Structure 1
Amino acid sequence: MIRSIVVLCAVFGVCSRSWADEVAVAVAANFSAPMRQIADEFERASGHHVRLSPGATGALYAQIKNGAPFDLLLAADDETPARLEREGNAVAATRYTYAIGKLVLWSAKPGVVDDKGGVLRQGNFERLAIANPKTAPYGEAATEALTRLGLHAGLQAKLVQGNSIAQAYQFVASGNAELGLLALSQVWKDGALVSGSAWIVPESLYAPIRQDAVLLARGADKPAALALLQYLKGDKARAVIRAYGYGL
């Protein structure tokens, strides 16, 4: 019955207000801005309310395992949702890739980062911010890219780690670090760089950042959770995802 209602909502683009409910979404920090925009559009269309909890994917996994009341997970990788599915914390056959993330070298100041990332080799900076590679997939990608460039060992003393990609961004935006290896979505909107200077890191330098969504066990029978998962696959949501620089 609930799944039939979700299909009708998807077809007509609106759900009856009598079915209005709240959906709690654990969302990877890199996707918090586009997800807020998608959530606002979804709320207007459906009448449901979306409660977002951004964070590092590893930290969100730990919260889910400890009983945090989330209905959906939008991760920054594909392994964490798959692991939750294997462990019985997510609903089988609901997992899919909602975005392909991209890594960027960014400075809050114009003219600092050249179009080939040469500033990394020059080394005339004090701090390079990345997310913790143990809990944040973008941190892992940053470490991999630096290693493939042959720079990781030489820059080790200059690395500062944020608990999440959001904190790594704040280090750079505040001036506490001159550079950061971040998610492109944090500095990109509508096909252009929002501010500062940047080099989009070639995707050949790190493993594809496949970001998967999955319905968690707690949301299995919630109309709002099922409706939002369906909405994320639609054209309006996908347009927002593209606008922030993600691949699909």
Structure 2
Amino acid sequence: MKPTAARTRCRTVFQPLVLAALISLGLPARAAELVVYSTGAVRSVVSALAEVFRQETGHTVRLSSATAGEVQAQMEQGAPADLVIAPDATISRLAAKGLAIGEARHVIARVGMGVAVREGAPRPAIDTPEAFRQTLLDAATLTYSDPAAGGTSGQALMGLVDRLGIGAAVRAKATPGTGYVCEKVARGEVALCVHQISEILPVAGVVLVGPLPPALQQVTAYVAAPTPRGADAPLAQAFIELLTRPAMRARFAAAGMDYPAP
């Protein structure tokens, strides 16, 4: 079908406007790819917003996810990232090594830790430190993000159980892992999962019992920071703008990524 005169006129007017918008943002007029290295706690929303970014700008986002420790190691080994999304402490370490632009960082999410059990299983009490401690002791088996692999919540949990005096008992019956470790609960391999809330909610077959009690809660601020690569700096800034847009806050909240700041 041949374009009508009206369509041709519309295209003639619209295309220069798009080009002008791209130039004003400092973005390339042709489609480009933004390389993003991110920790798993925020990947569900970041990957969804990557598609929004593509629809709005025509540029794509190539997202790689891992634990915070793995992301840091990959960056130190020369990973070709234009943008890094990780806990604030990780970004600070990368900035100190010249691998992230610390002064350009922006908080995109705050995530708390929670407890999950298999759908249909009794929900244990975790509303007080004492109840949470007893629940960990009573659980036959449990899982959490592997501290040895740089799992943020696993490292925090190990600090908590040591403070509560039950570190040895918890480690003896634990099967740590990486990624969505609560899938082990869904498959019936372990009874309990302690993880970032944002990595519990996407797992089918488990239910969130609730967040850790306030006195024990560990809230992690996840921040996005461009890297010194430079070639795609305007594109990185444009994606950060999308991630921090007020209209997107509801998406982060629905995914358990808008925990109140401590």
Task: Tell me which interval the TM-score lies in, with the shorter structure as reference length.
Answer: 0.7 to 0.9
Q: Does 1:147 align with 2:162?
A: yes
User: Secondary structure, in 3 states, of the residue corresponding to 1:93?
Assistant: helix
**Cross-structure match for 1:48:** 59
Query: Residue 190 of structure 2 aligns with which residue?
Result: 177
Contact 2:113 2:195 in 1 (8 A): yes
Question: Identity percentage over the alignment?
Answer: 25
RCO higher in 1 or 2 (8 Å CA, sep ≥ 6)?
1
Q: Which has the larger radius of gyration?
A: 2
Residue in 2 aligned with 1:125? 139
Task: Please report the TM-score for the alignment, with normalisation by the length of structure 2.
Answer: 0.78
Tell me if structure 1 keeps the 8 A contact 2:38–2:63. yes
Asked if structure 1 preserves the Cα contact closer than 8 Å seen for 2:100 and 2:225, the reply is yes
Show CA shifts across 1:96-118 (max 9, x none): 22211110110122343234264
- Alpha-carbon distance in 1 for matches of 2:66, 2:38: 7
Superposed displacement of residue 45, structure 1: 1.2
For residue 182 of structure 2, give the secondary structure of its aligned residue in structure 1.
helix
Runs of at least 5 residues in structure 2 that lack an aligned partner in the other structure: 1-19
Alignment of 1:158-177 (within 5 A): 158-162=173-177, 164=178, 166-177=179-190
Contact 1:91-1:220 at 8 Å conserved across structures: no
Correspondence for 2:239 among 212, 215, 228: 228
Q: Structure 1 pair 82/16, CA: closer, same or farther in 2 (3 Å)?
A: closer
1:86 paired residue number: 96
1:57 to 60, 68, 71: 68
Q: CA RMSD in A?
A: 2.8
Letter in 2 for 1:146: V
* Counterpart position of 2:47: 36
Cα deviation, 1:145-172, whole Å, max 9, x if unaligned, reads: 333444323222111111x3x2422322
Counterpart of 1:87, as a letter, is K
Unmatched 5+ stretches in structure 1 = 10-14
Report the TM-score when normalising by structure 1: 0.82
Q: What are the superposed Cα offsets for residues 186-231 of structure 1, whole Å, 9 maximum, x if unpaired?
A: 2337xxx984351311243144312222111225644322210121
User: Could you report, residue by residue, the CA deviation over 1:28-71 in whole angstroms, capped at 9, with x for unpaired residues?
Assistant: 11211111111111211111101110100111111111111111
Counterpart secondary structure, 1:38: helix
Distance 1:71 1:81 in 2: 13
Once the two structures are superposed, what CA deviation does each residue of 1:76-133 show, in whole Å capped at 9, x if it has no partner?
x211111111111112411122211110110122343234264762544332101122
Q: Number of aligned residue pairs: give it.
A: 234
Distance between the aligned counterparts of 2:27 and 2:39, measured in 1?
29
Task: From 103, 106, 110, give the equivalent of 1:96.
Answer: 106
